[in-house]
Every structure is written in C-alpha cells, then in structure tokens.
Amino acid sequence: MKHIVTYIILFSLTLTFSSCEFMFGTKKNSEVDDIFIQGNIDPNLAPSDVGYVPILPIWDDFQNPVDVFVGYDEMVYVVDDNGLHILDLKGQLHRTIKIPGATEVIQDRRIHTYVIGKAKVDVFGQEEELTAVYHLKNTATLNGPDFVDTLIHPFCDASRKIIPFRSEDRIVEFTGLAVLADNTLYVSRKGSLYDPASSARPDNTVLFFDEEGKNISYAKGLNPVTPNLKSSIGISSIASFVGPPQKLYGVSTSPDFIICQADQDKTIEFRVLWIREYSDPDAGINYAENSELLVMDPNKANGFLYEANKFKNPQDVCVSPDQTGYIFVVDSETDRFYQFTSKGLEGVPPPPNTSYVKNIKVSFGEEGAGLFQFDDPMGVCYFKKMIYIADKNNNRIVRYRLNTDLE
C-alpha cells in the first residue's frame, strides 16, 4: 500500500524529557512504580466491599480522548482530537504525533504501533479523505517515529482489486484494531454496502492482515445485516486474547475475537459477541458464535455478558491476557464500565473465606464527572491489574485497581 498514498502526513512532534538519561521505551523500576501507584490511592475512596479503587491523580490534559492502550514497551498511548499522545506509566507526556482523525491505537509484539485515522488520497484526479490504519515503528524512541505503511479503504481490501471506487466508500470507517501472537492484525470495519452477488466483501466485517500489511483474509460467516449471535453490524471495537506485558511462553494462540456492535439504527439484542474460528470441511475457515456463553447460571452470577439487551452503545472491549481472562466493556450510553469472567459471568469470583457464593459485581458508572462516573467512556485497556478508561467528554484518562489486588 506504500504506493497508493499520494498525500503523506507530516508528523508534528512534541518531545519532553524528564532527565538527560531518559530513553523512550525503557522499562521502569517496578518497585518505584508500585510505590508511586499505591501512594496515590485515597483510602476514603476504597469501597468497604470488593470493588474498584480510583488511582490519583486523574490524567486530564486531553481533548476528547477516545482510546487508550498500554503497549509492550510499557508506555501509555492515548488518542484524542490532537492525535496520538505517548506517556510513561506516571502520566508524563513524552511525545505527540499529529494523526488526523485518530480514533484507535494498538501495538503488536514487535512493538509496532497501529493507529486508525484519516488519509488524503488522489482517486481519479480528485482528493478523497478516507479511513486508514497508520503503521508506525519506533514511536517511543528518541529517533522515531518511523512511518512504515498505510492501509487505506478500499484499496487495502484484496476483494476490491478489480471493483471501482464507490461513493459509499467515503463513509466507510475502520473502527477497531486487535493483534494475534504472530502479529496478524485484525481491523474491524463498518459501512452500508452488502451485495451477496458481489465478490466484494461486506462493509460490516473484520479484515485480517499479516505483519507485512497484506490482506490475507476476513471473518467469513458473520452476518453483516441481521442481528444475531454471529453478526457484525456497526462494529465499534474488536479485541483479541493477546496483549502486553510481553511473554516468551504461554501467549494465547487463539484466533478468536470479541466485537462490540454499536449500530443505533437497529435493535440488537446481543451487542458484545465472542466470535470463534471454525474449520468447515466444505467452506474452509469460518467464524461463528461462542455458544458456551449462552449458559447463564443464576447460581453463579447475577449478570451475564450474553444477557439480553445488556448493553446500549458499547464502544470498547478488551481482554486481560493474564490468567484471569477477564473481559472489560465500556458503554457510552449507560456511562458504565463492565467486567466479566471468561465464562461470561459478570463480576469477580468471591475471595476465599467469605460468605459469598456468587460472583461479586464490580461494574460501576453513571453519567457525571465524579471518580466513579463517566461522560461517554470510549476506550478501555488493562495492564498489570490496572484498568485505564478514556472518558471522552470529561477530557480525561481515569485509572482503577480492584481493592483485592492492592498490596
């Protein structure tokens, strides 16, 4: 795709150094980090029961932040109206990269960074601004960042090689990013077109790219029109089961993914779906629902991921890559953060030596600007038992930790 782009963005960089020895991307001393984090917990905010504790200070120097991700380099990546911001784990800003229309960010295991934004392209002599994924490396090093490639709709879709550019392509959006252990990139897409007779893939789908940026496949089998347990309508986010911190062994090799369906023009009963890869002897690799989540035992929990109409407008989902396997969702309509187990049970297992027999709900949130309130939460990520939430209309990143994880 390097030769498609006729308009290359000039990156505007802002650098701030905390000391002359500082090198972007170096790992912090974990003991110092723990002291810093624990020293900023207000004991008056800790719930008396099992629940989340806000970590202070709040990071509020943003303009409509819509996504947050802690990378394999242990730097925090935030996208807002001004582009991509790179901070350390203490919240100190070290670099801003101007990327137009930035909405999503993720990093693969090579420490390559991907950002969804907009790119200006010459199409038949006319300049078009189209949805794109920017591929960067060395984003947090002294001599970076380095521009690698740009994946631009519709040109990056292998099924569109012989199909002319359509007016509807202007409103198609890339909406989410996820990576696998082998650095395969998943890109969710939403739009309006689907013609079963056409060789072109539906706008509502998930595209797969190898680490070189080649489109190798897509999520065949998902319904782009009719809501069900394996639909892909108005996808707002996608998450895989791989994430930082970096591991040499025990990394998930699952090709499964979880999507959020945020289309507000359709009645969608199940808006957060776990999609699994299946091998069909006739059709090859296909994608369908995770039927195990349909088992909702009220003796184990009082809420479920597949509870009918659980979500109104889910904007982001992530999965903890550690042994807990928790699933986290933020919903901009309910202004709420939700947590589920890998079995789809809402909450966390009760601590030992307690009277609880069911999962304890730790989901929270309502509209507002308080420490347990949100105003259009748009992004969520998990790193070393810490939750980060991009609270868009409050212009802040808020962090939380379960009080049972406090040392």
| Angle at alpha carbon of residue 318, lines to 312 and 323, rounded to 5° | 130
Phi-psi category of residue 374: left, alpha or beta, with phi > 0 → left and psi -120 to 50 → alpha:
beta
Rounded distance, CA 391 to CA 397, Å?
Answer: 6
Work out the average pLDDT over 263-269: 97
pLDDT at 41 (0 to 100): 67
Is 115 in contact with 137 (CB distance < 8 Å)?
no
Residue 210 dihedral angles phi and psi, to the nearest 5°: -80, 180
Mind giving me the DSSP string for 102-124? --EEEE-TT-EEEEEEEEEEEET
Mean pLDDT on 249-266? 95
Nearest to 45 by CA among 401, 405, 327, 407: 401
* Span 23-69, pLDDT tens digits: 344 434 443 344 344 446 666 666 668 899 999 999 999 999 999 99
* Burial class for 349, CB neighbours closer than 10 Å (0-12, 13-18, 19+): middle
Give me the amino acid identity at 373: Q
**Whole-prediction pTM:** 0.90
Among the four given CATH numbers 2.120.10.30, 3.40.50.300, 1.10.150.120, 3.40.50.10190, the one describing domain 47-405: 2.120.10.30
219: left (phi over 0), alpha (psi -120 to 50) or beta: beta
Look up residue 154 and give its amino acid.
P
pLDDT in tens, 169-218: 999 999 999 999 999 999 999 999 999 999 999 999 999 999 999 999 99
Q: Is 44 helix (H, G, I), strand (E, B) or coil?
A: helix
Residue 19 has pLDDT above 70, yes or no: no
